[in-house]
């Protein structure tokens, strides 16, 4: 069982649709990060959230950290083909060292 479970594992949608992907755990995180990885490249940091209930927006992307800091979601509005990629969440377990743990990722494909 992974510390961070991401769902869905795969998602294929049409351009213009909205979507939400999830990152869940039974552990409390002191902070959580979201990355996007495009084919043939390394992950690129999108956002860091640290406060329970925090909401951050990055253009069409909205990130939310759960009130209990055990889960997070990423919502994309009006998806575009350029949003295609692997979305990874990564978190630090509170009071358990500073090692960053990654989820298995959600692979998103946006078709034109």
Site for another protein, rule CB under 8 A = 2, 4, 31, 33, 35, 40-45, 48, 88, 90, 92, 98-105
Rounded to the nearest whole angstrom, what is the least distance from the CB of residue 98 to another protein in the complex? 4
- Of residues 9 and 18, the one with the C-beta less far from another protein: 9
Cα–Cα dist 37/46, whole Å = 10
Going by C-alpha positions, the residue among 83, 81, 89, 82 that lies closest to residue 106 is 89
How many CA atoms lie less than 13 Å away from 65 in the CB half-sphere?
A: 21
Q: Is the peptide bond before 8 cis (omega within 30 degrees of 0)?
A: yes
Rounded to the nearest whole angstrom, what is the least distance from the CB of residue 18 to another protein in the complex? 26
Rounded to the nearest whole angstrom, what is the least distance from the CB of residue 103 to another protein in the complex? 6
- Of residues 35 and 63, the one with the C-beta less far from another protein: 35
What would the two tokens of residue 49 be? 């959230």
């Amino acid at each position: 069982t992974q510390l961070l479970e991401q769902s869905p594992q795969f998602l294929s949608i049409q351009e213009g649709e909205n979507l939400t992907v999830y990152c869940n755990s039974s552990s409390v995180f002191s902070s959580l990060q979201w990355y996007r990885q495009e084919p043939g490249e390394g992950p690129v940091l999108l956002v860091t959230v640290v406060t329970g209930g925090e909401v951050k927006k990055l253009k069409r992307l909205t990130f939310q950290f759960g009130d209990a800091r055990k889960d997070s979601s990423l919502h994309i509005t009006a998806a575009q083909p350029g949003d295609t990629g692997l979305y990874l969440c990564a978190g630090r377990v509170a009071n358990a060292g500073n090692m960053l743990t990654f989820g298995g990722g959600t692979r998103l494909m946006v078709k034109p």
